[in-house]
Amino acid sequence: MVRGKTPANLIHGWFGALRGRIFLFPSVWVSLWSPDGGFWSPLSPVGVDYPAAAWVILLALLALLFLYFRDR
């Protein structure tokens, strides 16, 4: 693994610091709620209005990024 401040190492370190701790931050959960009382869909600007599907898609993309940068 290459040491230093490369983008891959910074992202890997950031994910490592947050792994297992993201559920401890109430602000993360508060930001998931929309003003009308439902879940906010992060992909609604591109037409995905189903919050569960939007979060699954985003988490899958984050997982792929993590796997891509994990062994670099």
CB count within 10 Å of CB 12 equals: 19
- The answer for residues whose C-beta is within 8 angstroms of residue 32's C-beta and 6 or more apart is 39, 40
State pLDDT tens for residues 13-62.
655 555 545 544 444 444 455 555 555 555 555 555 556 666 777 888 88
2: in domain: no
48: in domain: yes
29 residue type, one letter: W
Domain with 25, as residue range(s), is 7-70
| CA-based end-to-end distance of the chain | 6
Q: 8 pLDDT band (50/70/90 cuts)?
A: low
20: in domain: yes
- The answer for residues whose C-beta is within 8 angstroms of residue 46's C-beta and 6 or more apart is none
Number of domains in the chain: 1
Report the greatest alpha carbon distance in the chain.
Answer: 47
